[in-house]
Amino acid sequence: MNAYNWSPRLSPEPKMGQIYLRLHFARLKPGEMGPDLFSAPFSSCSPRQHTTQMPPEPHLTIPDKLPHLPAPPNPEPPMSPISATPAPLSRRFSVAPMMDWTDRHCRFFLRLLSKNALLYTEMVTTGALLNGDHERFLRHNEAEHPLALQLGGSVPLDLAACARMAQEHGYDEVNLNVGCPSDRVQNNMIGACRMGHPQLVAD
């Protein structure tokens, strides 16, 4: 009784630069095995003898002495961090403060879109910082810089105290809200109504 076994055979005409095996099903007698091509040397499987020789590796000569190179000029000593003047903030592109939008999560996302844009917080009132959880309002990620805190208030002493808190928390700028047209904030002398009181803004 005949059995069907598979036996690898070379393709009669391999393409240039390629040697490949094609599997054929041969009708063999029971116990008979096909030619053992996998254990044969590579030259016996190749229909052509490759006589192309690889070019010899280039010989590198290392000189005994390297040419003398002039020493680099002495760099200027770094500026003392105490006397250094911080670089001015660029306002060419800024993201305005938006209530219920520019919180620390939104600002972190916006920083991924631009490395140099000046980001603003939501408007934070002086009462919220002085009487509430100021750590929650001032919390931010270092990746958000440059970052400005916008304050809303009308009492100069309260604004000064909140500005010191912003400085302690590492904000790059404190912005006073004198442009919001909302009637809700104008009742507390915050926003655009402050433009009618220039002396109060100056204080």
The residues assigned a catalytic role are 180
Q: Which two tokens stand for residue 108?
A: 């972190």
**Helix or strand run (H / E) with residue 168:** helix 156-168
Query: Under the phi-then-psi rule, with left for phi > 0, alpha for psi from -120 to 50, and beta for the rest, what region is 191?
Result: left
d(C-alpha 88, C-alpha 51), whole Å? 71
* DSSP 3-state of 202: helix
The neighbouring-strand residues paired with 151 are 124, 176
d(C-alpha 172, C-alpha 117), whole Å? 13
Asked if residue 30 has a cis previous peptide bond (ω within 30° of 0), the answer is no
Query: Residue 14: which residues within 8 A CB-CB, separation 6 or more?
Result: 20, 47
**Contact criterion met (CB below 8 Å) for 114 and 144:** no
